[in-house]
Amino acid sequence: MNKKILTQAKNILSQKKLQAESNAEKRKIEAINSSKQFKNLYQDYVNCMIENAKNGGLKNQVEVKKQECNKWLKNNNFSSIFPQYSCKHCEDNGYIDGKMCDCLKKEITNILIEQSGFGKLEKFEDSNFSKFQNQEEMKKLYTLMQNWCNQNPPTKTLIYLSGGTGVGKTHLVKCMANALIENSKVVNLVTAFSMNQDLVKAFTSFDNDLREQTLQKYLDCEYLFIDDLGTEIKQKGISVNMLYLILNERKMRGLSTIITSNLNINDVRDQYDERISSRIIDKTTSICIRLNGEDLRLK
């Protein structure tokens, strides 16, 4: 994972954790100062925790003491003195048993989506098929893609959605990205133009760290969406080679890539090369779909 983005995501969780614990400490002091009875209840809870830490075997008693504190707080109209973490699973640490928690994945995805400039995503259930000429076919396509998003792991790791301008490709991938995020996947949604600019900037520099971090951003996410392939301004020796490297490496790692484009497969072969088109049309790992219909933006 890109170190800069990972650090940023972890810092967000750390701030949430500190805030939750700071708020809890304020509530605890207020409750203790208000009642000697609660002060004694809380001290019993602390003593029990200390004894359990030393000798073990008192886990159930610790929980009983905690519930006694909570009961007093509730009966006396006090909020809980225990931290209300945003993630109940890892308590805003970001990891559980050394594995990345879903909450950290979500923060990483939020950063990637924000950087992409795509703005608000969409939901499958909010899709309006009345805009389409071929409504039934589009409903089938959306169902197919929604089912694909729910596969874990997906049977095919590359989706290629081609079609003319305005037939609904970007709306569909926004729905797909949102569904995957709700399934706690790390998603990076970019335009081909911005990804190409990013790669050209990195690989025309002499900064090896920048090159590595830029590649990590596109290689390490679980799902990479590349919107409008073919609109980028290609840099000789970089654009095509980097696109192939990303597609091939992600395929080798079993990571999913979703591409939208106005280009059909023959156009891809002509504008890029045989290596890239062969990755897209590989039936063992890819699904290629052509969207037909009038430009929805004209309606």
Question: How confident is the model over 1-48, as pLDDT tens digits?
Answer: 678 889 999 999 999 999 999 999 999 999 999 999 999 999 999 999
Beta strand pairing call for 256-261 and 95-96: unpaired
What would the mean pLDDT of 175-184 be, rounded to a whole number? 92
**Is the predicted pLDDT of residue 294 greater than 80, yes or no?**
no
117-298 domain in CATH 3.60.20.30? no
Beta strand pairing call for 95-96 and 99-100: antiparallel
What would the mean pLDDT of 153-157 be, rounded to a whole number? 93
In total, the chain counts a number of residues equal to 299
Cα gap 48→52, rounded to integer Å: 6
Closest Cα partner for 185 from 157, 219, 222? 222
Closest Cα partner for 9 from 84, 121, 83, 93? 93
List beta partners, residue 158: 257, 286
What are the residue boundaries of the structural domains of the chain, listed by start? 3-99, 117-298
Q: What is the pLDDT at residue 271?
A: 92
pTM for this model (two decimals): 0.79
Distances (CA, A) of 220 to 23, 55, 90, 103, 276: 36, 43, 22, 17, 20
Residue with tokens 């980028």: 232
Q: What is the pLDDT at residue 1?
A: 65
What would the mean pLDDT of 265-294 be, rounded to a whole number? 89
